């Protein structure tokens, strides 16, 4: 297990239940030994003016799940993780339904974490592929 301790979904969802993640209705739905999954419904909050999923909303989902994952790995009394770099390839559009982001580690280092995040629609079609680098910062 890569997590600092065992985190119930309810604890993770308390993190998501504020700020932008609350507005976009992002929810953690699964935590395993080395992955975390979260969902986001396609609503008007995440559509662009042409009615399709806004690419920026996919990036918010990816960065949110990856940043939370990094913060679940480190000792929260000593460190916190912040997004350093993100890229995203939007491979398919979507107009409705529920998106699921799966976040897996590519690198867990002392000062950086790199995450592979894949976002699928509810038909299991790949919508977005993202890679997030998180900087691990020592609390002062």
- Is 2 within the bounds of a domain? no
pTM: 0.96
Q: What angle do CA 139, 2, 34 make, to 5 degrees?
A: 130
Q: Give catalytic residue positions.
A: 63
Average pLDDT over residues 113-131: 98
Percent of the chain with pLDDT over 90: 99
Cβ neighbors of 89 (< 8 A, separation 6 or more) are 128, 129, 130
- Is 20 within the bounds of a domain? yes
Task: State the CATH number of the domain containing residue 95.
Answer: 3.10.129.10
- Is 103 within the bounds of a domain? yes
Closest by CA to 116, choosing from 74, 70, 80, 66, is 66
- Is 33 within the bounds of a domain? yes
Exposure of 39 in the CB half-sphere (CA atoms within 13 A): 12
Cβ neighbors of 132 (< 8 A, separation 6 or more) are 62, 63, 66, 67, 83, 85, 86, 114, 115, 117
Structural domains counted in the chain: 1
pLDDT of 114: 98
- Is 69 within the bounds of a domain? yes
- Is 80 within the bounds of a domain? yes
- Is 1 within the bounds of a domain? no
pLDDT of 79: 98
Residue 16: give the domain boundaries.
9-138
Look up residue 54 and give its DSSP letter.
Answer: P
Residues 38-59 pLDDT 10s: 999 999 999 999 999 999 999 9
- Is 39 within the bounds of a domain? yes
């Amino acid at each position: 297990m890569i997590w600092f301790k065992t985190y119930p979904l309810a604890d993770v969802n308390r993190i998501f239940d504020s700020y932008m993640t609350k507005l976009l209705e992002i929810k953690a739905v699964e935590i395993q030994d080395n992955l975390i999954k979260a969902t986001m419904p396609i609503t008007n909050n995440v559509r662009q003016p042409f009615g399709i999923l806004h690419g920026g909303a996919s990036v918010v989902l990816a960065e949110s799940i990856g940043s939370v994952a990094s913060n679940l790995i480190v000792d929260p009394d000593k460190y916190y993780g912040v997004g350093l770099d993100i890229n995203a390839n939007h491979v398919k559009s979507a107009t409705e339904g529920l998106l699921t982001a799966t976040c897996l580690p590519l690198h867990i280092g002392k000062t950086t974490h790199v995450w592979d995040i894949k976002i699928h629609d509810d038909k299991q079609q790949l919508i977005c592929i993202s890679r997030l680098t998180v900087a691990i910062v020592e609390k002062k």
